[in-house]
Structure 1
Amino acid sequence: MTSPSTLFFYIAAALAAALTAWLLVRYRQERHYRRRPYVAPAHNDWQLHQPDPLTPLQHRVALLGDPGAVATDGTDNLLRLLQHWQHETGPAGTVIILGDNVYPTGLPAPEHPGRAAAEQRLNALLDVLRPFPGNVVFLSGNHDWNKGRPDGYEYLLRQEAYIREQLPTAHYLPAGGTPGPVALQLADGLLLLVLNTQWWVQQGPRPTSDSKEPFRQLQRLLTENQHQRIVVAGHHPLYSNALHGGKFTAKQHVFPLTTVHKRAYVPLPFIGSLLPLYRKLVGAAEDMAHPRYRKMRRRLLRVLHQHPHLVYAAGHDHNLQYFEQHGSHYLVSGAGSKTAFVQKGGQATFVHEHKGFFSLDYYANGETWLRTLEPDAAGAPLPEVFRQRLYPGPVVAAPLVRSVRLPVTAELPL
């Protein structure tokens, strides 16, 4: 008769063997597709489709997330690619910076030892944007709020004031750390709605608001502007095949601390799988599984799913992802200065672990095209790895909706 201790040993050994086999299979699969563009089989013919070169381009929108770790010596290939896009686009364009504008913790106080490095990184981005004749819109992300810590509101206000001083023509939306939404008319029939998604997951002080009221306002704006093409921008994605969506590499199960720091190679086999499992099911504050994030996402999707034919753009995860859900299009464009693992398949139409950003091209005949822009080592644009026509249809002119800058509720030293 087998003793309980022996039975427990056999069960533990079987589970360990099964986990080891699963990790080896996952590792082999990941090595095969990591850093390669993935396109869902239904869209494998994407190269056969392109905009009519004779149709005038009405407006272009660059969606650039998480640029907070760009090189500050003028050699950053992503910033060079952005310069190329700006030169090609001219005044009929908008650059939307989707948050996490300065790593690792936003813009510290003037006396902080990390202030100089933070300023250099932010200035490198501002210097590239300064000559652009089109619109520039900044959002804030969790890192801009001191990684969501209780004093993050001070960091947010300080960064907003700095950008307003250094680049007065830029919009920092929503102003003063409020949740939004804020509307900005980009062109005839093209409206941008900006949400401060960090407001819902932030700890500590933040501007006072009913947490449900922004969704009611968003519902009203979407209903009133159904005749327009609409882009909704927020820092946090609503769909993701990457870290914040609960997807982890086989390596992260064996070296779980690399999810916190890329060089933390402390082997914790088997036990290490508990951290990815925790972040998938419970979540840190920046993960979709976290209760605050989950509630915000559920409420936001409840509104957006009622209004097809829009684009929701976010950063946060350091890769490029595209999902089509309920007649609308959901983008993750957070590869502005870092890259990280993204899992292929699932609900995604396209994913790629590569620096770059998405561009939305709006044409005079009403078509909207999604393009993927990625730099080579020198910053020149690589051949496109994916594009898709999102919407056909005629352009309908719309009444002008101006952005409203709310008063900043506190002043901090620059």
Structure 2
Amino acid sequence: MLVYFLIIVPVLVLAFFAFSYWQERKYRRKPFYKLSDVGWQRHAPPPDTDLLHSVALLGDVGAIATDGTDLVLQLAQQWQHQVGEKGTMVFLGDNLYPIGLPEAGNRHRDLAEARLNTLIESIKNYPGRGIFLGGNHDWLKGREGGYEQQLRQEQYVEEHLQQPDSYLPPKGCPGPSCLQLADNLLLVVINTQWFVQRGFKPMGSKYGCPYSDIEEFFVRLNKLLKRNSHQRILITAHHPLYSNAMHGGKFTIKQHIFPLTALHKRFLIPLPVFGSLYPFYRKMFGAYEDMSHGKYKKMRKRLVRIFHRYDNLIYVGGHDHNLQYFEVQGNHYIVSGSGSKTAFVKKGGKATFALEDLGFFVLNCYSNGQVWIECRTVSESQENGLLMFRKRI
């Protein structure tokens, strides 16, 4: 009896892994659409409507090519040509991999500086506006010294870009910072890394932050949203509030069988069953940058509780290296984190749209009051890229 048990159980486990892997392979890098949005191509803004303002939302661009061949930046340049001065580019954090902008002499400095210069030049040559946010990698992956690393990048951007409000919120503070991008379109920027940062993080007038108690942040945010409830509000941050990807606790079968690939993609040492302990831990307890981690969970709970008091808010983050869109209680939540890397995203759940591909989301506001989101991905054969999803919100 024991022999049968020792044979049947492993066979069943392997069969389950094989079937699940086959299911994943069927939709990897293929778009997922909620049933009600399968026919999204039939809907478009009226052709005679003037564009009021457009916002390109590029997340996690920290591994871009610096030789002019980067497909995402080329796609962003096409967007710039289309919208002209009526546009704003927002870099949603993790602008520099692996550790932000280190001090001079560090082995990562030259590459980081070249990448940051490339991003800055993409805005300098554009008549619209450019805004940078900080992500966990820009803050030295949350470790001690991250605050200084973040300030170094902020100062570099401001000195070389020479544009007001080019790095928000300023001085590593939590925010919220706000900018009126156009009539009836308000941009609100939140530094979500502040809430999950393990090392020192600024607070109080000594560091240029307008309050000394983080509770005041939530009070100010709620008042800001309430005061501007008559217009469309776009909230940008680095960390998403909904995600069907790794930081949301979703893992591939490969990650269950080869858990050491989390350390390096070449560590293909099979550890079936035991290997599931790592994804289980990430899902239930979380690393510092996962939704299930205590600090992230607390921040997310407070933000979602405030957002659910209002309708038609648009919240956009990066962090997970894919493209996702969720509609939850009248609000819109976007993940636009595939500016230079891609990673697995699970279909279904609360998602309306999900795709593992390089690209970014665009928010378009029109003179007739309509607001549309678009998901654009790169294409080696089509200069203007591919439109993978569009919806009026």
Query: For the superposition of Structure 1 and Structure 2, which TM-score range results when normalised by the shorter chain?
Result: over 0.9
Residue 368 of structure 1 aligns with an amino acid whose one-letter code is V
Residue 210 of structure 1: how far off its partner (Å): 2.3
The residue correspondences of 1:310-389 to structure 2 (distance < 5 A) are 310-377=313-380, 380-389=383-392
Q: Return the alpha-carbon distance in structure 2 between the equivalents of residues 36 and 290 of structure 1.
A: 30
Q: Return the alpha-carbon distance in structure 2 between the equivalents of residues 15 and 294 of structure 1.
A: 36
Q: For residue 180 of structure 1, give the secondary structure of its aligned residue in structure 2.
A: coil
| Contact 2:123 2:129 (8 Å CA) reproduced | no
The residue correspondences of 1:10-159 to structure 2 (distance < 5 A) are 15-159=9-153
| Contact 2:325 2:333 (8 Å CA) reproduced | yes
Q: 1:211 to 1:379 in 2, by over 3 A?
A: farther
Corresponding position of 1:400: none
Offset from partner CA, 1:16-61 (integer Å, 9 cap, x none): 4443232112101111000011111111111111000101110001
Residue 189 of structure 1: how far off its partner (Å): 1.1
Instruction: Confirm or deny that 1:191 pairs with 2:191.
Output: no
Of stretches 252-261 and 274-283 in structure 1, the one that deviates more from structure 2 is 252-261
Residue 379 of structure 1: how far off its partner (Å): 7.2
Q: 1:11 to 1:290 in 2, by over 3 A?
A: farther
Offset from partner CA, 1:334-376 (integer Å, 9 cap, x none): 0100000001111100011000000001011110001111111
Q: 1:272 aligns with which of 265, 275, 284?
A: 275
Of stretches 307-316 and 253-262 in structure 1, the one that deviates more from structure 2 is 253-262
Residue 227 of structure 1: how far off its partner (Å): 0.7
Q: Return the alpha-carbon distance in structure 2 between the equivalents of residues 344 and 41 of structure 1.
A: 12
Residue 13 of structure 1: how far off its partner (Å): 5.8
Residue 263 of structure 1: how far off its partner (Å): 2.7
Residue 307 of structure 1: how far off its partner (Å): 0.9
Q: Return the alpha-carbon distance in structure 2 between the equivalents of residues 23 and 211 of structure 1.
A: 45
Q: Return the alpha-carbon distance in structure 2 between the equivalents of residues 113 and 379 of structure 1.
A: 37
Residue 176 of structure 1 aligns with an amino acid whose one-letter code is K
Unaligned runs of 5+ in 1: 391-414
Residue 292 of structure 2 aligns with an amino acid whose one-letter code is A
Residue 111 of structure 1: how far off its partner (Å): 1.6
Residue 304 of structure 1: how far off its partner (Å): 0.5
Q: Return the alpha-carbon distance in structure 2 between the equivalents of residues 157 and 19 of structure 1.
A: 50
Residue 261 of structure 1: how far off its partner (Å): 2.8
Q: Return the alpha-carbon distance in structure 1 between the equivalents of residues 172 and 288 of structure 2.
A: 18
| Contact 1:80 1:379 (8 Å CA) reproduced | no
Corresponding position of 2:198: 203
Instruction: Confirm or deny that 1:247 pairs with 2:247.
Output: no
Q: 1:303 to 1:13 in 2, by over 3 A?
A: farther
Q: For residue 384 of structure 1, give the secondary structure of its aligned residue in structure 2.
A: strand
Residue 248 of structure 1: how far off its partner (Å): 0.5
Residue 185 of structure 1 aligns with an amino acid whose one-letter code is Q
Q: Return the alpha-carbon distance in structure 1 between the equivalents of residues 177 and 10 of structure 2.
A: 52
Corresponding position of 1:408: none
Residue 218 of structure 2 aligns with an amino acid whose one-letter code is F
Residue 286 of structure 1 aligns with an amino acid whose one-letter code is E
Q: Return the alpha-carbon distance in structure 1 between the equivalents of residues 247 and 22 of structure 2.
A: 23
| Contact 2:249 2:283 (8 Å CA) reproduced | yes
The residue correspondences of 1:290-305 to structure 2 (distance < 5 A) are 290-305=293-308
Q: For residue 72 of structure 2, give the secondary structure of its aligned residue in structure 1.
A: helix
Q: For residue 300 of structure 1, give the secondary structure of its aligned residue in structure 2.
A: helix
Residue 211 of structure 1: how far off its partner (Å): 2.9
Normalising by structure 2, report the TM-score.
0.95
CA-based RMSD: 1.5
Q: 2:161 aligns with which of 167, 171, 176?
A: 167
Q: 1:217 aligns with which of 215, 220, 229?
A: 220
| Contact 2:75 2:385 (8 Å CA) reproduced | no
The residue correspondences of 1:397-408 to structure 2 (distance < 5 A) are none
Q: Return the alpha-carbon distance in structure 1 between the equivalents of residues 4 and 181 of structure 2.
A: 65
Q: Return the alpha-carbon distance in structure 1 between the equivalents of residues 346 and 360 of structure 2.
A: 18
Offset from partner CA, 1:226-258 (integer Å, 9 cap, x none): 111100111000000001001111111111122
Residue 358 of structure 2 aligns with an amino acid whose one-letter code is K
Q: Return the alpha-carbon distance in structure 2 between the equivalents of residues 14 and 182 of structure 1.
A: 59
Unaligned runs of 5+ in 2: 204-211
Q: For residue 262 of structure 1, give the secondary structure of its aligned residue in structure 2.
A: coil
